[in-house]
Amino acid sequence: MDVEKKRFRKIFPNLAEELENGNCETKIKSVRSDPTTGEKAVSKKFTDYNPDVIDFLRRCDKAEQAEEIIDYMEKKKEISCEYATKLRKQLKKKGVRSFGSKKEDDYYLKQDGF
């Protein structure tokens, strides 16, 4: 039995420490007996959400990246020529952060509480 514990500790050092110290915490937000209902309820906040050009611009670090996105969206007819011109003016005058704070990796998961 002691050999198994040593092996477990060697393979999973952090997990072994959590188990031994009792520092294991998992928050349960709800309990459902029907898995299908549970899966549907997990994330309703962004269900059927389609990011727009501003969502993409908020992921940019530099004005050049934002310019590429505007060009691409305009070329693909996702935004009008007039709107693209307005976005370019805003980008030039106020910078990339004028579209909102930076959306980091896993933004939508974090907003949903995961």
Q: Could you list the pLDDT tens digit for every one of the 114 residues in the chain?
A: 577 888 888 888 888 888 888 776 766 565 555 666 555 555 555 566 677 898 889 889 999 999 999 999 999 999 999 999 999 999 999 999 998 888 777 665 556 555
- Same domain, yes or no: 85 and 38: no
User: For residue 87, which of 47, 45, 58 has the smallest C-alpha distance?
Assistant: 58
In a domain, 76, yes or no: yes
In a domain, 60, yes or no: yes
In a domain, 102, yes or no: yes
pTM, rounded to two decimals: 0.55
